[in-house]
Structure 1
Amino acid sequence: MPGKHSTVLVVGGAGYIGSHTTLALKDAGFATVIYDNFSTGHRDACFADHLVEGDLADVAKLTETLERFEISSVIHFAAMIEAGQSMVTPLPFFENNVSGTVSLLKAMLAAGVSRIVFSSTAAVYGNQDGRLTLSETLPRAPITPYGHSKAMVERILETCVQAYGLQAIALRYFNASGADAAGRTGERHDLETHLIPLIIEAARGIRPNVKIYGTDYDTSDGTCIRDYIHVSDLATGHVAAVRYLLDNSNTGFQAMNLGTGTGYSVRQVINTVREVSGRAVDVVEADRRPGDPARLVADVAAARTDLHWSAAQSSLDEIVRTAWAYAEANLPH
Structure 2
Amino acid sequence: MDNSQYGHPSKEWVAFGVAHPELHIDDNALDEEIARDPATYRDTANAAKEEAVRALIAEEKLDEHVLVENYAVPTRDGATIPVRAYRPATTNPYQPVPAYLFFHGGGMLFGSIDSEDYSCMVWARRLGFAVISVCYRHTPDFKFPTQTNDAWDALEWVLTNAADIGVDPDCIIVGGVSAGGCLTAGVVFREVALAEQEGRKPRVKGQLLAIPWLIHRDVYPTDIFADIEKCSIVQCADAAVLPKPWYDLFTDLLAVEDPKEPIMNVALAADEELRGTPRTAFIVCGWDMLRDEAFILADKLERLGVPTKKHVFPGLPHAFRKYADLPSSKRWDDRTVESIQWLLDGDAPADEPGKWQSEISDP
TM-score by length of 2: 0.34
